[in-house]
Amino acid sequence: MTTSSHRIRVAPLLNRVPEVTVFFWVIKILCTTVGESFADYVNETLGFGLTNTTLAFGLALVVALGLQFRARRYVPGPYWLVVVLVSVVGTLLTDNLTDARGVPLWLSSTVFALLLGGVFAAWYAREGTLSIHSINTAAREGWYWVVVLVTFALGTALGDWTLDLTGWSPGAAILLPAGLILAVLVAWRAGLGPVLSFWLAYVLTRPLGANIGDFLATGRSDGGLGLGTLVTSIVFLATILATVVYLTVSSVDRVEAEARAAGS
């Protein structure tokens, strides 16, 4: 009895993140779009201001992370709720530096890139892997979420910096990150390491989603569709919710090893 109880206490957690399928990338881009449009809506349209908006969503993120860390395996609802909130908080971190502190976008992009490299180095030195298929301990999940937060902040800074440099319209701005993601896909097919390919694409989906959000929300006179930040946020949040419900019911994004363990 004692041995059995001890085994239960020390049993390793199942993988805490989803399998990388097409659903993963679709919902990731949806989350990044929400991060851009919803942050702008609360901050600017509702007039909460950067500080209050950052504090509110920061608190919500802490609560959501608490729910996520309590789970012993990947559960779509809590996981993607954290991603949505991280996307908003990551956007607000860059906005605070740029708008409230006057930090140039090239500088914040450089700082976030160096920070991301430092976190990756520390994660690898501590755990010996950067693969998301090995997120089966609380420590590894902690590293994972720190990286995700920095990638959102970096992607926001890089996307805004690119727009400042090019002066492109919201629609044309979608093409650059989309083209770079396609290049990563081709490189992966040609033999680029899957871990490096994954994280490169993960960073690039942030400016892609943000540019899509800007295109949908920006007025027609400025080259957008004129839906506004509220409508864009509602449409994408509803789509995220529907996708999460589907993933919860179907379990199609559950890691195979985890599925086998759950059925054993």
pTM of the model: 0.85
Residue 2: pLDDT over 60: no
Task: Note the Cα 137 to chain centre separation in Å.
Answer: 20
134-146 as b/e: b if 16+ CB within 10 A: ebbeeebbebbbb
d(C-alpha 130, C-alpha 124), whole Å: 6
Do residues 239 and 184 touch, judged by C-beta distance below 8 A?
A: no
Residue 124: pLDDT over 80: yes
When pLDDT is averaged across residues 219-240 and rounded to a whole number, the result is 87
The tokens for 59 are 């608190």
pLDDT single digits (tens) 36-64? 788 888 888 888 888 899 999 999 999 99
Q: Say which residue, 30 or 45, is predicted with more confidence.
A: 30
Quote the Cα angle for 74-264-25, to 5°: 30
Q: In which region does residue 14 sit, left (phi positive, over 0), alpha (psi from -120 to 50) or beta (all else)?
A: beta
Which class for 223: exposed (0-12), middle (13-18), buried (19 or more C-beta within 10 A)? middle
The tokens for 172 are 């044309």
Do residues 205 and 29 touch, judged by C-beta distance below 8 A?
A: yes
Position 255 scores a pLDDT of: 66
d(C-alpha 53, C-alpha 236), whole Å: 20
pLDDT single digits (tens) 83-121? 999 999 998 998 899 988 899 999 999 999 999 999 999
The tokens for 141 are 């999940």
Which class for 195: exposed (0-12), middle (13-18), buried (19 or more C-beta within 10 A)? middle
Quote the Cα angle for 104-220-106, to 5°: 10
